[in-house]
Amino acid sequence: MGRLAQTDGLTEIQRDILATVRDFVDKEIIPVATELEHKDEYPTAIVEGMKQLGLFGLTIPEEYGGLGESLLTYALVVEEIARGWMSVSGIVNTHFIVAHMINAHGTQEQKDYFLPKMAVGEIRGAFSMSEPGLGSDVSAISTKGVRDGDSYVLNGQKMWLTNGGTSTLVAVLCKTDEGGSSPYKNMTTFLIEKTAGFGPNPTVPGLTVPGKIEKMGYKGVDTTELILQDVRVPADRVLGGAPGKGFYQMMDGVEVGRVNVAARGCGVARRAFELGISYAQQRSTFGKKIAEHQAIQFKLAEMATKVEAAHQMMVMAARKKDSGERNDLEAGMAKYLASEYCKEVVEDAFRIHGGYGFSKEYEIERLYREAPMLLIGEGTAEIQKMIVGRRLLEEYRIAE
């Protein structure tokens, strides 16, 4: 373990958790990641190992059977997992977001029912906000929930669900038209329990997960659509018990999700740096190791600086959220910086590998296909810049 991406001020418990996860990544994930990724195979054994480590309940309060750890601890764990294989971090990310939303916004009955099962990985969560016809314009959602007695009837099509097939709980954002003129008060989050698998769901009539979406990278983890045709959901499965709060609940989830994506970018970048600096000390050209060439040393210096800067920004954003303060500015900055730097560090490591970087035998080839997902996940760079720009104008507004 090198000196990059160290975090000051951690407790002994946090250090122990990270050491355990790092050991798990080195022994159980890195040796098999590339093979599983090339097969697009779900990492069942790895997921079972994470369940045994308690990672699915890392941030769930102890009263519900979790470890009760902070967002910072979770982000550092995600960084370590993504260093091994980014897809594995995706498996816990949406689960974490849904658990966070239930803990922060759910009724007591919802917390008592869902959180203990989520803490041990018995229930695994997926997060469903996007749709085929919209990108970042959440107010334009068309999936609709209509009140019918003690239930809501849902119709529509959702897109880009991570863990859409393997999850057993989906938090779904729908338009409910019960909040007056504001579109943001006309959205509601529904908690839908389902059976894991693809095709028509045997336990939820009208709910269908068509199959996995084929992707350039980010393989292994399933990314899916979700089709809702007259799906009936009890009113007590509205998150928080009252309609019209879905937009704000989802944005809270996305905010912590952005810290998570930043952590993933940090992990992938760190692994790319490790691969690049290792290869540079093995490969020789013109009579000496390429690491001895000034051009490569400059590249390594730039890569290391980006790894360090992204990590520290991510840590700052997580600590801000843990303190209870508003952190959309810091989360947006961290997600933007980490994802952009990740792309650049991976590409530099790819260049250091030369022609071998283009070979599927080398790990950097996989990272080169995975990094682009971070540029769009949890909001594009352009969206992050909009968020950051608006917040800066709030902070620095001049008196008229």
Categorise residue 357: left if φ over 0, alpha if ψ from -120 to 50, beta otherwise. alpha
Of 69, 80, 330, 378, the active-site residue reads: 378
DSSP collapsed to 3 states, the chain: CCCCCCCCCCCHHHHHHHHHHHHHHHHHHHHHHHHHHHHCCCCHHHHHHHHHHCHHHCCCCHHHCCCCCCHHHHHHHHHHHHHHCHHHHHHHHHHHHHHHHHHHHCCHHHHHHHHHHHHCCCCCEEEECCECCECCCHHHCCCEEEEECCEEEEEEEEEEEECCCCCCEEEEEEECCCCCCCHHHCEEEEEEECCCCCEECCCCCCEEECCECCCCCCCCCCEEEEEEEEEEEEHHHECCCCCCCHHHHHHHHHHHHHHHHHHHHHHHHHHHHHHHHHHHCCCEECCEEHHHCHHHHHHHHHHHHHHHHHHHHHHHHHHHHHCCCCCHHHHHHHHHHHHHHHHHHHHHHHHHHHHHHHCCCCHHHHHHHHHHHHHHCCCCHHHHHHHHHHHHHHHCCCCC
Angle formed by the axes of helices 328-353 and 381-395, to 10°? 140
**400 noted as active-site residue:** no
**For residue 323, which of 6, 102, 79, 9 has the smallest C-alpha distance?**
9
- Report, as residue numbers or ranges, the catalytic residues: 378
